[in-house]
Amino acid sequence: MNPYTNICRCGVIAALALSIVGCATTPVPTEVADDKAVVPFQTEAGEAGYHLLLAELAFERGQFAEAASEYRKAAELGDDVEIAQRAVLLANQVGRSDDALASARRWVELAPDSLAARQQLARSLLLDDDVPGAVDALRDLLPLIHEDPQDAFPPLALVVLEAKPETGIRALSRLVDEYDDVAAAHYALSTVALAGQSYELALKHAQQAEQLQPQWYQASILTARTMVAMGETEAGLERASEIARISADPGIRLDYALLLANLDREGEARLELDLLLGEHPRMSGALRAAGLLELRRGDLDAAQLHFTSLLATGRDIFEAFFYLGSIAEERGQFERAIRYYSQVRDDDLAVAAQVRAAMLYDRLGQLERGIEHLADVARENPQFDADLSIAGGEMLARAGEPERALQAYDDVLVRHPGHRGARFARAFLLDTSGQVDLAVSELRELLAETPDDPIALNALGYTLANRNMRLREAYRLIRKAYTLDPDNPAIVDSMGWVEFRRGNLQKALEYLQEAYMALPDPEVAAHLAEVLYAVGETKPAQALIENTLTDYPGHDALVDTAQRLGL
């Protein structure tokens, strides 16, 4: 398996340019440093305006990292809250954590009572792994969310959940120690611990929340969820069922239904959701869950009805558009699917939706329109620029235009220097284009930067194994990746492929069967078919290729394997 898986600002810029010219009309002294004449700005406001102009120009050119840096300088020198806010948001969008933190500090200085500013500062400190600073920021944020800590802590947990689990748990634990008698404080910590798979800690604090407030059923259902996560499935479900029966809160009943669905007890989950929707037909969470269940079992009509109803509620609209697009795509209604996908512009699903829309343009024979679609969305949403541009490059590569694809990746690296996704995509393209030495060199540089990154380890190892090069090194790299991330099916596939290259057919078969069960990807299928053929299982190999080609007609790896083996 492949391991690499417009607002015009002319008026603003003109106005800024005129203001800067105005600042310079009075002659100013010249200072000399390093034999170069430097003309100082008359005021910090003048310098701030200069950096703001540079930021706007960089943004217009698509140089988002540079724009974020210049916005930061403008925010630090000026006293405009809106500029500080813009600096934070853009820095976050393009992954400039240092600029985001500095601009968030400035935003808080300018607007100390701003909930949004305090949230951004806490978020930036958490992402910077500054636990003491994050604790102080979270403490300051708490009363701005709500004057009652019982109502403030659950929303606070949503901010903490954006951090690395260890950092979030450490920071929130310190704050919870100061609010030991508040049930919601323990509830929030349990939620963060559960998300970070610290199950014992999650259970301890969920139970503590229950003890402090016995009739607060959200704490009880959290205890049940944690029990299930720890492997106490039946006991956890029994407890959740009991709470759902005695609680009048439809949200508790929804939590129980979701718990059933996550355990693949779809019949029971569907019954609970049907009862819930019978009483609360516009309950967005239940509509969403019911739609996903129907999609899972292939009932497109029922799923479409639920997601259309969800759209009518005005809640979770981007998810509704996404899944309505998926349904239309499944039915071969590509133009309708594109219309639905195109509405998903501000959500975790935005990149996936726009990439699927572009790919559907390609399937309609409109490759250039698909590429333009990605570029248009990227210009309007700089936080998605790198991912969408890389996707456009991959489309060009698949269309047999490697030079344009390589240029697309290089352009990403100009706008986002050092972007790892673009570098991985570039390496993969170099490999498939026959420039193996350049690909390996690029991957070695990536690995040198992060020696324990399983993605980098697997990418280099797979590339070597796939080319039948330096198999001992390939095995060592992939084995280390597997040790670090044994549940990643792409890495499991690589383990199988390198074992095949080394002649260990039985081990290769075991790994590849495991990988295919977890991820029935066409490249995994091609690897598995090759090993099945090698151990004499010709008919299963042929059946696997034929069945997979039904879902992925003309797939290069499948067709190549079938032709080489005469299947």
Which residues span the domain enclosing 158? Answer: 127-247
Angle at 52 between CA 30 and CA 25, to 5 degrees: 40
- pTM of the predicted model, to two decimals? 0.76
Distance CA 303, CA 337 (A): 15
**pLDDT value at position 42?**
60
Where among 217, 247, 277 does a domain terminate?
A: 247
Q: 3-state class of 37 per DSSP?
A: strand
Q: How many domains does the chain have?
A: 2
Q: Say how many Å lie between the first and final Cα of the chain, rounded.
A: 20
Same domain, 107 and 136: no
C-beta of residue 141 within 8 angstroms of C-beta of residue 118? yes
Write down which residue in 210, 228, 247 finishes a domain. 247
Q: 487 in a domain, yes or no?
A: no
* H-assigned helices in 213-279: 217-229, 233-246, 250-262, 266-279
Asked if residue 296 belongs to a domain, the reply is no
In this structure, the answer to whether residues 78 and 172 fall within a common structural domain is: no
Q: What is the 3-state secondary structure (H, E, C) of 287-352?
A: HHHHHHHHHHCCCHHHHHHHHHHHHHHCCCHHHHHHHHHHHHHHCCCHHHHHHHHHCCCCCCCHHH
CATH number, domain at 138? 1.25.40.10
> Which residues have a Cβ under 8 Å from the Cβ of 13 and sit 6 or more positions away?
53, 56, 57, 60
CA 338 – CA 353 distance, rounded (Å): 9
- The helix (run of H) or strand (run of E) holding residue 442 is helix 436-449
Q: Which of 353, 323, 328 is nearest to 341 (CA)?
A: 353
Size of the chain in residues: 567
Structure tokens at 191: 């939620």
Kindly state whether residues 98 and 168 are assigned to the same domain.
no
User: Going residue by residue through the chain (567 aa), what tens digit of pLDDT does each one get?
Assistant: 555 443 333 333 333 333 333 333 333 333 434 443 444 556 767 787 888 888 888 887 777 888 888 888 888 888 888 888 888 888 887 778 888 899 999 999 999 999 999 999 999 999 999 999 999 999 999 999 999 999 999 999 999 998 999 999 999 999 999 999 999 999 999 999 999 999 999 999 999 999 999 888 999 999 999 999 999 999 999 999 999 988 888 999 999 999 999 898 989 999 999 999 999 999 999 999 999 999 998 999 999 999 999 999 999 999 999 999 999 999 999 999 999 999 998 778 999 999 999 999 999 999 999 999 999 999 888 889 999 999 999 999 989 999 999 999 999 998 888 899 999 999 999 999 889 999 999 999 999 999 999 999 999 999 999 999 999 999 999 999 999 999 999 999 999 999 999 999 999 999 999 999 998 889 999 999 999 999 999 999 999 998 888 888 888 888 888 888 887
**CATH code: domain of residue 85:** 1.25.40
On whether both 102 and 140 belong to a single domain, the answer is: no
What gap in Å lies between CA 195 and CA 165, rounded to an integer?
7
90/178 same-domain check:
no
CA–CA distances in Å: residue 208 to residues 167, 225, 232, 415 = 22, 15, 19, 49
- Give the residue from 83, 111, 139 where a domain finishes: 111
Same-domain check for residues 93 and 132? no
Contacts of 390 by beta carbon, 8 Å cutoff, 6+ apart: 408, 409, 412, 421, 422, 425
How far apart CA 156 and CA 148 sit, in angstroms, is 12
Say yes or no: 71 and 159 in one domain. Answer: no
